[in-house]
Structure 1
Amino acid sequence: MIKNIIILFIAFLSVTDLFSQEKPFWNDIQKFKESDRFNPPVQKAIVFIGSSSFAMWHDVQDYFPGYTIINRSFGGSTLPDVTGYLNDIVFPYHPKQVVIYCGDNDLANSDTITANEVLQRFKLLFQKIRKQLPSISIVYVSIKPSPSRKHLMTKAAQANIMIQKYLKTQKNTSFVDVYHKMLNKNGSIRSDIFLQDELHMNAKGYAIWKQAILPYLKK
């Protein structure tokens, strides 16, 4: 009996390990779940989801005192990645608002992806959230420009415009334009708001995002 239990347990560990290797970001999601077990988050908070620009905002709560923020973003993710994990990173928290930053990696991961494809990916993410949580506020933070990806600026700007137009047709939504706030007057990208990798932001960059996002957060 004990031998059978041990065999089953080893088999379970093997399948779990295989699953974690095959499904992208599975380990990141497990870390969120482990954190929730030790520190159950409050319901009806504001959930931030998306890629590394949110994931690396470790002190995001300090930027928004008076609001309860649950950050469930994971670095390297694309819109389909986030969509695939909604049952883990959004719905369990019954949030009153979801704030999204994603789309940056969608463009960077493929030279052939178009702005319209980014829009279609976003629409799928949006519609899945809306179906499960029909009345909550959904905020999208525009794809940012960054020095290491300046060759993607045109596509990013096009995708931003398309997503903004789409959100105008939907109820209880907001579009936050950080793209233009991260440029110099001549249209070049500000270099002083990025880390050495020229992709992720420093405190100056996040200060810009705070001012842009704050008016759209729900008390």
Structure 2
Amino acid sequence: MTRREGFYPLHCPALQQDELTLLKHLFAIASCLAATLPATSTIAAETAAEYDCIIEARQYIEIRSPVEAIIESVNVRRGDIVTRGQVVATLHSGPERAALELAKTRARTQGEIKVAEARVAITGKKLRRAEELFAQNFISANARDEARADFQLATEDLGRTRENQKLAEQEARRAAEVLALRTITSPFSGVVVEVMLKPGEFGATTIKDPIMKLAEIDPLYVEVVLPVNLY
């Protein structure tokens, strides 16, 4: 006996969300592969041959929580077909959602910038007026210097306010990324092999505490055992 190895694409939409049905599909694929293998002159064309084979998923992965938190929901069951990017579980995210809303509010706030811009405009007018009066010897150099200092301080304050606005926008993006960690998605299209944790249980980042196990079955890897006389 010899072995023939290969991989064959399997399109998941044809499968049902039931583990028994999945196994039936796998055996049907194995039978089709065996039936399409080349026959020799010693085997009658009308005889249907059956051969042993091993069918394996492309890969298995264990889905774990990226952060330590209480599991809020598990959206799949054992045997379910999942697609890439599908939400399979969520973690408790109340504080993270509140932090995101607060950061968005700060990022949208324009009041401090408008106040700083108005102050720059006013002190700028005062400075220009002071320079005109100083040129005509109506005010002292000290008064002109005070107007110039007020304008410079207002300009620097506007710069700091704009920098704070940019920091608030970055904080909002960071809060959104932190919240996204509370939503767990499937990295590929496949089938749920096993669900280990339930809503209300603690999702940890340790290796020994996965939430579920997934298998990628498109393509499948098939190893067929054939008689030597078929080669």
Q: TM-score range by the shorter chain?
A: under 0.3
TM-score by length of 1: 0.22
Pick the structure with greater CA Rg: 2
Larger RCO, structures 1/2 (Cα 8 Å, 6+ apart):
2
More helix by share: 1
